[in-house]
Amino acid sequence: MAILAHLDDPPRDRGRGLLIGLAIALPCAGLFLFWLIPTLVGAVLGGARDLDSRLRAEDGYMQTLCGEAMDLARDEQLCSCVLGTEFPSLDCQAPFRHWTLARQQETCSDPEVHKQALSFCSCVEAVAGKVDAAAPEAKDAEVAAYENCMVLPDALFLPAIDVLASGG
């Protein structure tokens, strides 16, 4: 039905605009669907695989430590948690972080090691200072900052089980 305003200025055909819109939108949608979504899914799954492998390695380390190389004075608090749970890397994170921080402090106390891993050892010392200064209920939150030290390029690995078993 014609409206009086359309008599002098008839409405334009919308087909041309629709075709231009489709010509722009379809390649963008294709790019999104075939490149961006798989990239995001891969990043999420890759991060989950990395976390899973790290947690499995921590599980094995803690269970081996408490099963084969336990020193009661050094490892009692950690092993009391590890031996009582099925997945210690999930259930014993706070005791493991405290234990790890103490072992890395011992390692970094050697001047030669401190010189070779200066940024890592400085980070460990800073985190240990914050943990020591924190109130008892805030110590677990402060020791979580040790995770930032582990990603440094000169980060040191945990001592090997045989070194710990020999009293090192």
pLDDT digits (tens, 9 = 90+) for 93-139: 999 999 999 999 999 999 999 999 999 999 999 999 999 999 989 99
Instruction: Say what the pTM is.
Output: 0.71
Least confident stretch, 7-16, 102-111, 147-156: 7-16
The total of structural domains in the chain comes to 1
Cα–Cα distance between 25 and 47 in angstroms, integer?
Answer: 31
Q: Is it the case that residue 1 has pLDDT exceeding 60? A: no
Cα–Cα distance between 116 and 128 in angstroms, integer?
Answer: 19
Task: For residue 11, tell me if it sits in a domain.
Answer: no
Structural domain including 121 reads 21-165
Cα–Cα distance between 82 and 100 in angstroms, integer?
Answer: 14
Maximum C-alpha span of the chain: 99
Task: For residue 4, tell me if it sits in a domain.
Answer: no
Cα–Cα distance between 34 and 25 in angstroms, integer?
Answer: 14
Task: For residue 67, tell me if it sits in a domain.
Answer: yes
**Is the separation of the CB atoms in 156 and 117 below 8 Å?**
yes
Task: For residue 1, tell me if it sits in a domain.
Answer: no
CB count in 10 Å sphere of residue 97: 21
Cα–Cα distance between 117 and 102 in angstroms, integer?
Answer: 16
Report the half-sphere exposure of 81 (CA within 13 A, side-chain side): 18
Task: For residue 5, tell me if it sits in a domain.
Answer: no
Phi/psi for 160 (5° steps) reads: -65, 150
More confident residue, 43 or 107: 107
